[in-house]
Amino acid sequence: MTTEAPRGALTGIRVVEMGQLIAGPFCGQLLGDLGADVVKVESPGVGDPMRQWGQTTSEGDSLTWPVIARNKRSITLDLRVDAGQDVARRLLDQSDILVENFRPGTLERWNLSPERLWQTNPGLIIVRVTGFGQTGPYAPRAGYGSIGEAMGGLRYLTGEPDRPPSRAGISIGDSLAGTYAALGALAALHARTVTGRGQIVDSAIYEAVLAMMEAAVTEWDTLGHQRERTGAILPKIAPSNVYPTEDAASILIAANQDTVFRRLAASMGRPELGVDPRYATHHARGERQEELDELIESWSKGYAADELLELLHAGGVPAGRVYRTEDMVADEHFAARNAIIRTRNTAGQEFAMQNVAPQLSATPGAVRWAGPGLGEHTDEVLTELGYDAVEIEKLHDGAIA
């Protein structure tokens, strides 16, 4: 007797993704990871530009695409023509969530305005991801994740204090907007169980970044304090930094809580530091942050990385290597939790990628397949919508070709 695999929490929910690049599609990825049927609508013959972006295989295939488009079915549809719009409306009449990240007004030009869609499917949730939101003076502007990171405050605080603002090595602004979009979609799904009606989820990239800025606005408003770039540290949070080892590794040690600092002092063989008035309290350590970092660095350099980590972990001190991707792939804890998995697309190509997060105990998400070929599921989806073979053939002559 075999046991059926648990179904994802969003099994039975259909999502139509009309976005491209990262912000909207990352929302679709998250919903698909949790079990939703995500139907990705792409332009015939062209598709999402992410099919060509980033590192590529020797055949020229993007290695970003298998991740951002995993668990999705691809259909091609020309939304600029009446026949394509008719298909889109029929699809949306049988769907729960629409995700799009075009400039405000684009859906309306395609005769797919929320008001029109709600006439036939009042429960449809419409997720709109843009640089600046659907309202306000900046709404019509083009907006990429990098602009949202800049205007949301993240770029100003990223990097070393003696250099211009830097960036993270990933498109974090886009991904944050997609994450908040998915959160909003799930909240709207719950609200629909009460009201029976859908609503608009308006996720702006700059606001998603702003939401992560902790107390920066409050500090400015109350104290006139402007946070500045501080490199590897947060001012007054000590010790929490990257420290060198004898074998030239980099170990991050975070012992900024009073009790944890006492454990670090004990691990260093200098328990007296934990009760020394110069270091015993959070405020005192913050005032002597540089001095304390130098003290810990002089100690850490006397150990090889593995030896240092073993000592710190035994003492209950949070610490870890600064991992590169190859370290993640080789790590036993990552393996034990299946944090990195291998999956295939329908062409049989195999890819390693990060697994679904977070992990749900009863209805876990899953990576069911890697990114699909352009239009791979067009006929399949059209058949599900009730089109017969003759109608599908006619659509191939224009709307989906």
> How does pLDDT run across 118-163, given as a tens digit for each residue?
999 999 999 999 999 999 999 999 999 999 999 999 999 999 999 9
Could you read off the pLDDT of 311-358 as tens digits, one per residue? 999 999 999 999 999 999 999 999 999 999 999 998 899 999 999 999
pTM of the model: 0.95
Residues 6 or more apart whose Cβ sits within 8 Å of residue 145: 22, 23, 171, 172, 173, 174, 175, 177, 205
- pLDDT given at position 5: 60
Q: Does residue 389 surpass a pLDDT of 60?
A: yes
Kindly give the pairing relationship between strand 350-354 and strand 250-254: unpaired
Q: Which domains does the chain have, with CATH numbers?
A: 14-212+341-396 (3.40.50.10540), 240-323 (3.30.1540.10)
- Point out the residues that are catalytic: 174
- pLDDT given at position 295: 97
- Phi, psi (rounded to 5 degrees) for 252: -90, 125
pLDDT-based confidence at 16, cuts 50/70/90?
very high
Q: Does residue 59 surpass a pLDDT of 90?
A: no
- pLDDT given at position 4: 56
